[in-house]
C-alpha cells in the first residue's frame, strides 16, 4: 500500500481536489492507498473539508498537529503514522498532479528506493511555463506567474539554485527542492527528514545518494497554485529565510562530505 502524505496549512479550496485526484488515479490503476492529511491548525476550514472527504472515503485520514506550525515536522508526523509500505508526499495546493504516481511506483517496483518528481528534467516544467501556448514561452511564463499567487523571484531562484547544485554538488539530482517524493518506507531506518522547511528536501535527496540508495527522478509538470497563498515564499522575509536555510544546509553537507557527489 502507498500512503500519500499531504501537509496542509490553509488549503481549504485545494485539498478536496487533491484528495479526489489521488483517489481516481489509484482506483483507476488498482493500487491500494491511504491519504494522510497533516494539518497545522489551519484557520480556513481545511480540517472540516478533509473530514467531509473522510466521511465518504475511509481511506482518508486527518491528523491535526498541536505543535508549532512546521512543514518538515508535519511530513515526518504523517510518515510516522503511515500504514503503507511506500510513502509519497507532495504539495496540496494543486500545483502538482497525482497522475505521475503510477510512473513513480513503477520505478520503485524496478528496485529504486527513492523517486523524485523533477521540474528540471527535459520533459518537466516549472510553474507558469507552457511551451504549447502561442507566443514566446518565457514571456508567457512571466505573465502567468505575475497573474498567479506565486512568486516569479522564487521560481527564478529555484531554477538557478537547482542548476548550481546539480553541477557542483550532486549530479544525480536535478531538482533538490521538488517537494514530490515517493520512497520505500524502509529508507527511514537509515535516513531522516532533518530540517524545518524546504532545506529538508536538499538534505534528504543528497543523503539518499551519498548513502548508496538507488535514486531516480521522473519529469514533473509543476503548475501555479490554484487557490490561496504560498507559505514558503509568502513574504520576502520568508523566502530569504528559506534560501538561507538551503544555503546553510548545502554548506554543512559539503563540510560533512568534502568530496561532494558532483560526479
Ligand atoms: N502542515 C503544514 N503544511 C504546510 C506548512 N507550510 C506549507 N505547508 C503545506 O506544504 C505544501 C507546500 O507549501 P507551499 O506554500 O505551496 O510551498 P511551495 O510549493 O514550496 O512554495 P511555492 O512555490 O511558493 O508554492 C502545501 O500543501 C502547504 O499547505 C506548514 O507549516 N505546516
Ligand atoms: Mg506549492
Neighbours of 260 (CB within 10 A): 15
Over residues 235-256, mean pLDDT: 88
User: How would residue 39 be classed by pLDDT, with cut points 50, 70 and 90?
Assistant: very high
Is 263 part of any domain?
no
pLDDT of 125 higher than 80: yes
Nearest alpha carbon to residue 108 among 159, 31, 182:
182
CB 59 within 8 A of CB 34: yes
pLDDT digits (tens, 9 = 90+) for 152-202: 888 889 999 999 999 988 899 999 999 999 999 999 989 989 888 889 999
Please name the residue whose Cα sits nearest to atom 12 of ligand 1: 91
The domain spanning residue 188 has which CATH number? 3.90.550.10
Is 207 part of any domain?
yes
By residue range, what is the domain housing residue 169?
A: 2-256
This model's pTM is above 0.85:
yes
- The overall average pLDDT reported for the chain is 92
What does the longest C-alpha to C-alpha distance in the chain come to?
52
- The per-residue pLDDT for 229 is 85
Is 246 part of any domain?
yes
pLDDT of 64 higher than 90: yes
Which ligand 1 atom sits nearest the alpha carbon of residue 233? Answer: 24
Mark 120-134 as b/e (b = at least 16 C-beta within 10 Å).
beeebbbbbbeeeee
Instruction: Lowest mean pLDDT of 7-11, 54-58, 191-195, name the range.
Output: 191-195
Is 78 part of any domain?
yes
- The per-residue pLDDT for 150 is 80
- Going edge to edge, which strands form the sheet with 215-219? 60-64, 33-39, 2-8, 86-89, 181-184, 114-118, 215-219
Taking the centre of ligand 2 as the mean of its atom positions, its distance from the CA of residue 153, in whole angstroms, is: 14
Mark 225-236 as b/e (b = at least 16 C-beta within 10 Å).
beebebbbbeee
Please name the residue whose Cα sits nearest to atom 20 of ligand 1: 232
Structural domain count, the chain: 1
Is 117 part of any domain?
yes
User: How would residue 262 be classed by pLDDT, with cut points 50, 70 and 90?
Assistant: low
Is 62 part of any domain?
yes
Is 139 part of any domain?
yes
Is 262 part of any domain?
no
| Closest ligand to residue 127's CA | 1
User: How would residue 124 be classed by pLDDT, with cut points 50, 70 and 90?
Assistant: very high
- The per-residue pLDDT for 145 is 81
Please name the residue whose Cα sits nearest to atom 19 of ligand 1: 91
pLDDT of 106 higher than 70: yes
pLDDT digits (tens, 9 = 90+) for 198-239: 899 999 999 999 999 999 999 999 988 889 888 877 788 888
Looking at the chain, the whole-number percentage of residues with pLDDT higher than 90 is 70
Better pLDDT: 258 or 240: 240
Q: CA-to-CA distance for 222 and 42, rounded, in angstroms?
A: 24
Nearest alpha carbon to residue 121 among 141, 106, 100, 136:
100
Nearest alpha carbon to residue 187 among 131, 254, 137, 114:
114
User: How would residue 260 be classed by pLDDT, with cut points 50, 70 and 90?
Assistant: low
Q: Which residues pair with 37 in a beta bridge?
A: 6, 62
Amino acid at each position: 500500500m502507498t500512503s500519500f502524505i499531504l501537509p496542509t496549512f490553509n488549503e481549504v479550496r485545494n485539498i478536496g481536489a487533491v484528495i479526489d485526484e489521488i483517489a481516481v488515479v489509484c482506483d483507476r490503476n488498482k493500487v491500494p492507498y491511504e491519504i494522510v492529511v497533516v494539518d497545522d491548525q489551519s484557520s480556513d476550514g481545511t480540517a472540516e473539508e478533509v473530514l467531509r472527504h473522510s466521511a465518504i472515503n475511509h481511506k482518508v485520514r486527518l491528523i491535526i498537529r498541536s505543535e508549532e506550525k512546521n512543514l518538515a515536522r508535519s511530513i515526518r508526523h504523517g510518515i510516522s503514522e503511515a500504514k503503507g509500505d511506500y510513502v509519497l508526499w507532495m504539495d496540496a495546493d494543486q500545483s502538482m498532479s497525482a497522475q505521475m504516481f503510477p510512473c513513480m511506483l513503477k520505478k520503485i517496483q524496478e528496485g529504486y528506493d527513492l523517486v523524485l518528481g523533477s521540474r528540471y528534467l527535459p520533459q518537466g516544467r516549472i510553474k507558469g511555463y507552457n511551451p504549447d501556448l502561442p507566443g514566446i514561452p518565457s514571456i508567457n511564463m512571466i505573465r502567468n506567474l505575475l497573474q498567479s499567487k506565486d512568486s516569479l523571484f522564487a521560481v527564478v531562484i529555484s531554477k538557478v539554485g537547482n542548476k548550481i547544485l546539480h553541477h557542483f554538488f550532486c549530479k544525480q539530482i536535478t531538482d533538490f527542492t521538488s517537494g514530490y517524493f515517493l520512497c520505500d518506507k524502509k529508507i527511514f531506518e537509515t535516513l531522516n527528514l532533518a530540517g524545518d522547511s524546504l532545506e529538508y528536501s536538499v538534505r534528504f535527496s543528497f543523503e539518499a545518494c551519498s548513502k548508496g540508495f538507488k535514486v531516480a527522478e521522473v519529469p514533473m509538470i509543476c503548475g501555479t497554485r490554484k487557490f490561496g497563498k504560498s507559505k514558503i515564499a509568502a513574504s520576502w522575509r520568508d523566502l530569504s529565510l528559506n534560501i538561507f536555510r538551503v544555503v546553510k544546509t548545502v554548506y554543512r553537507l559539503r563540510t560533512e562530505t568534502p568530496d561532494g557527489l558532483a560526479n
